[in-house]
Structure 1
Amino acid sequence: MNASELRSKDVAALEKEVSDLLKAHFGLRMQKATQQLTNHTVLGNTRRDIARAKTILAEKKKGAAK
């Protein structure tokens, strides 16, 4: 998920995206704990996607407050 795709979404869709990414990240962490995760880079990529989505969500909320 890149920033331009996230910027095209509205606030509600971004909040749902963050929620979905957090659930996916939790699932990946559980897979890592049980040694079922083979590709560990997915964990870092998901963490970066969460940060990217939260940043854009904060920007949109700040812009709506003005």
Structure 2
Amino acid sequence: MGMKTIDLRTKSAEELNQELINLYQARFGLKMQIATQQSNKTSELGKLRREIARVKTVIAEKGVAK
């Protein structure tokens, strides 16, 4: 986690889509851990949300539909 935008821009469309799927899965897992009180890392949700937005922005810049 924590890729820089410049690193994302060098990836192919398929790699970006896979990265987006991985981030969604990580966010879901973290939400479940927080809901079941197995984790108290609520700040990680914001970090994941911003990372997802970063990947979506690069996908939009490339003009690739998901």
TM-score, normalised relative to structure 2 = 0.86
Listed as ranges, the gaps of 5+ residues in structure 2 are none
The answer to whether residue 20 in structure 2 is matched with residue 18 in structure 1 is yes
- What is the Cα-based RMSD across aligned positions, in Å? 1.1
Higher Rg of the two aligned structures: 1
Richer in helix (by share): 1
Structure 1 consecutive aligned stretches of length 4 or more whose deviation exceeds 2 Å: none
1:41 corresponds, among 43, 52, 57, to 43
- Secondary structure of the structure 2 residue equivalent to 1:43: helix
Give the corresponding residue for 2:59: 57
State the TM-score, normalizing by the size of structure 1: 0.86
Q: Which runs of 5+ in 1 are unaligned?
A: none
Which one-letter code corresponds to 1:4 in the other structure?
A: I
Cα deviation, 1:6-52, whole Å, max 9, x if unaligned, reads 11101110000001000000001001100111221111100110010
Q: Is the 8 A contact 2:34 2:41 kept in 1?
A: no
Q: Percent identity?
A: 47
